[in-house]
Amino acid sequence: MQKINLYTTVTVSDFQDKAYINHLIDLNIGVELALLTPLSDITQYKKDLDALKKEIEAFKDCFNQYNIPVDKVRIHQPGGYAYYWSDHDKISGYNLLKDFFSYCYDSGFRNFVIHPPYGNSNIDQLLELDQYKEKIKHLIPADATLEVEEISVSNDELENSENIRFYSGPLFETLMQDQPNAIMLLDTYECGGVDATIKRFKDLTSKGFEIKSIHLHKDKHKFLTSDEVALLLNSNFCGNLVNEGFLQDESSFDEFIKTKSMKCVVPNIQRIEILKSYNV
């Protein structure tokens, strides 16, 4: 029988609702951290890193309160300039990730998720690819788990992207070949839907790639239906399903980004009922 583990993303504020967290624990639903610390640019490197450490400490206090082992918690990379791994400056997005993950590792965390870095189409592709492959190899210690999420749909929405090289499709596959402690992660939104996710999963596994986790959401963080999740459960996938849905159907992602209004977010009790309906 296939082994499927269900996770959901959480913020520090979610821990203010004790009933919600206890429901997650009772249902054996794991957590992946959604870091809300706003990042600026490379000139604010130390300030951003200190703020991220403070947010992690707040999470650790919550985990201690609920006896949640940190080595079972997944950490999704922070946003902002963390996507840029350029060597033009000693301070880069890669250095931020490496220092931040090192801090988290020393705090007991062992499971990390990143997006692929953006490339620069004005730089030799093979040279950049070799550098990025090496950087992934050395981002975390060998006894930790690193999953790299393929980003496709969101790439189409970036402005002024004519000089950006995107690591998706065949280039993403080349980036992930022969990685000793990093594996691919798929996302149902980024793949273009559940059917496309299953197709991509089968294609990648037929090429020898390992995929242990799939992020679940659509239309930028709206919940999948139970029928959509059932399609994944009926495929040959075995591993972690990580819910990233939290928005109301009638709410837009852009509205939430601008206002952070809880009116955009599905109430916690309803979130639990949706997760229970997945029958994992």
pLDDT in tens, 97-111: 999 999 999 999 999
CATH number, domain with residue 101: 3.20.20.150
Cα(186)–Cα(201) distance, integer angstroms: 8
Query: Could you tell me which residues come within 8 angstroms of residue 147 by beta carbon, excluding any fewer than 6 positions away?
Result: 111, 112, 113, 114, 182, 183, 184, 185, 212, 213
Percent of the chain with pLDDT over 70: 96
* Residue 57 predicted with pLDDT over 90: yes
Q: What is the mean pLDDT of residues 233-249?
A: 93
Does the structure show a pLDDT above 90 at 124?
Answer: yes
**Is the distance from CB of 243 to CB of 6 less than 8 angstroms?**
yes
Q: What is the pLDDT of residues 13-31, one digit of tens each?
A: 999 999 999 999 999 999 9
- Contact criterion met (CB below 8 Å) for 223 and 243: yes
pLDDT digits (tens, 9 = 90+) for 188-219: 999 999 999 999 999 999 999 999 999 999 98
Q: Is 148 in a helix, a strand, or coil?
A: strand
Q: What is the extent of the structural domain holding 120?
A: 4-277
Given this model, what pLDDT does residue 50 score?
95
Residue whose pair of structure tokens reads 């009772």 in the numeric block: 26
pLDDT of amino acid 53 = 97
Total domain count, the chain: 1
In whole angstroms, how far apart are CA 31 and each of 152, 177, 255, 267?
24, 28, 25, 17
Give me the pLDDT at residue 84, please. Answer: 80
| pLDDT tens figures, 168-195 | 999 999 999 999 999 999 999 999 999 9
Residue 251 pLDDT level (bands cut at 50, 70, 90) = confident
- Round to whole Å and give the CA distance between 213 and 4: 10
At residue 8, the pLDDT reads: 98
Find the mean pLDDT for residues 37-43: 78
Confidence of residue 139 (pLDDT cuts 50, 70, 90): very high
Q: Is pLDDT above 90 for 61?
A: yes
